[in-house]
Amino acid sequence: MPIGDLQIPFIGKELVIVMLVMPHILIATFVIGITTIAPVAEYVGLLTRQPKYDRFARNAAKFTVLIFASGSALAIAFVLALITLYPVFWSYLQNIFFWVLLAEAFMFVGEIIIVYAWYNAWDRMAFRKRLHVVFGFVAGLFGLVQMTFINVVGSYLLTPSEAPATAIGWTYLNPTFMPLNMHRFVGNLSFVGFLVAGWAAWRYLRSETGEDREYYDWMGHWGLVWGFGFLLLQPVIGFGYMKEIQAHNNAAFEYLMMGDKSWLFNLLMIELGIMSVASVAYCLHKLRFAAKPMPVARNLLMGAMGFTALFSLLNVIPADANLVPQIGLVFLNGEETRIPLGGMYPWKYIGLIGMMLVGVLVLALYLKAAVRGFRWGRASRWSQYALLATAVTVTLTMMTMGYARETARRAETPQGSPGWLISGCMTFDQQIVAEDCPAVFEPLP
């Protein structure tokens, strides 16, 4: 290696990257998701003339402006850490993705300007509300496009294109780029929805005035509709994403789905189960306060809750007794001991599809009740604990899935290295293994 290979004592350099990237992603995802949800709330407030939507959007914008600084500082620290700790890797990435990363930087600039303008002009543009809403949506769009650009890099590391590195189109549209984009776009909204619901629950439990109780009760409902609604799409999109990984990086797929890291997906199923059951329980509870009683819908939701719990249980059954080999959690004959109802086909398909269909039914009935109206401010403490549970669980889910995507490159151990930095191309020790990686166009004679 032409330059020093720095090592970090005690925790190792990988952990330095983790401790900068994970908080950054959690904050950045929040920023991107909230700059979609808050402008929608502002617009709904404009259409319905209900001040609670504007109150929510304005507070969300204010918090976004403040949290943006921490998120950006972490991103910059992350890039500095990459340059210092993985210089060869980073210079390769900069070469391959020069235009993408340059464009991404401009998206950051655009996002910063428009988010600040959006919040700052709230009162000044009170009589030009439609234009103001556009500010919010443009902020969301900048964030979304910026996420798309960084997804190019993230997806390329796991499934590099079989094309020269200088072919911008090919490297951009690598095999898992689109599925990752879809998965993250929907995930942003679900994540932020549940966080909003959790925050509302926390404030509801601490509210002292009737007005605040009504507002935070409504806010919990608003967040949950986004969180649960978009969560229902995730299994299908995630399935598509995994199919692409299977087709283009089979070792990573095997490692995650059947190998030593399959416990991550067992954990995901536990998290998905908690979020689904808590969401359905909340909806069921809320129907008690429907402006117009809906006894049939309540009975249906009660049944739906049972089915959601049943499908969740089916999903969490592990395929074999090799549970978490990293900590020695292996029973009987490990991988050779198959657990009944634990296989992917047909049990997990039944579990996931069933959960989604029941979820859609629950959401449809709940939204029908919401259109007729609820009596706000009367929700029980337990319903708020359910919302808090979804917020905590969705954060853990984000961390689990982020870890899964990155650890997938440890499926192979090329040249005795713990894994790949760029799959099939650069090892963890920053050694290039293939001559044509990244390949360049042959110069014309």
Q: Give the nearer residue to other proteins in terms of CB position, either 237 or 398.
A: 398
Binder of other proteins out of 44, 46, 67, 361 (CB under 8 A): 67
Alpha-carbon gap, residue 290 to 402, rounded angstroms: 38
Q: Give the nearer residue to other proteins in terms of CB position, either 19 or 163.
A: 19
Give the residue ranges of DSSP H helices in 49-125. Answer: 51-85, 87-96, 98-120
Binder of other proteins out of 28, 38, 57, 74 (CB under 8 A): 74
The reply to whether 399 sits near other proteins by the rule CB under 8 A is yes
SS3 350: helix
Q: Which of 95, 89, 98 is nearest to 157 (CA)?
A: 89
End-to-end CA distance of the chain: 32
Q: Which of 349, 348, 360, 352 is nearest to 304 (CA)?
A: 360
The reply to whether 325 sits near other proteins by the rule CB under 8 A is no
Q: Which of 85, 89, 112 is nearest to 19 (CA)?
A: 85
Closest distance between other proteins and the C-beta of residue 26, in Å?
Answer: 5
The reply to whether 62 sits near other proteins by the rule CB under 8 A is yes
Q: Which stretch binds other proteins (CB under 8 A): 36-44, 70-78, 84-92, 338-346?
A: 70-78
| Residue 8 near residue 85 (C-beta atoms within 8 A) | yes
Burial class (CB in 10 A: 0-12, 13-18, 19+), 224: buried
For 5, phi and psi rounded to 5 degrees?
A: -110, 90
Q: If you ran DSSP here, which 8-state letter would residue 287 be given?
A: G
| Residue 252 near residue 354 (C-beta atoms within 8 A) | no
Q: Give the nearer residue to other proteins in terms of CB position, either 276 or 397.
A: 397
The reply to whether 170 sits near other proteins by the rule CB under 8 A is no
Q: Which stretch binds other proteins (CB under 8 A): 9-17, 182-190, 301-309, 408-416?
A: 9-17
Closest distance between other proteins and the C-beta of residue 70, in Å?
Answer: 4
Q: Which stretch binds other proteins (CB under 8 A): 2-10, 118-126, 146-154, 350-358?
A: 2-10
Beta strands in 184-336 (DSSP E): 322-324, 329-330
Q: Give the nearer residue to other proteins in terms of CB position, either 300 or 392.
A: 392
Closest distance between other proteins and the C-beta of residue 424, in Å?
Answer: 25
Q: Which stretch binds other proteins (CB under 8 A): 17-25, 283-291, 333-341, 427-435?
A: 17-25
Residues that bind other proteins (CB under 8 A): 6-12, 15, 18-20, 22-23, 26-27, 62-63, 66-67, 69-71, 74, 326-327, 399
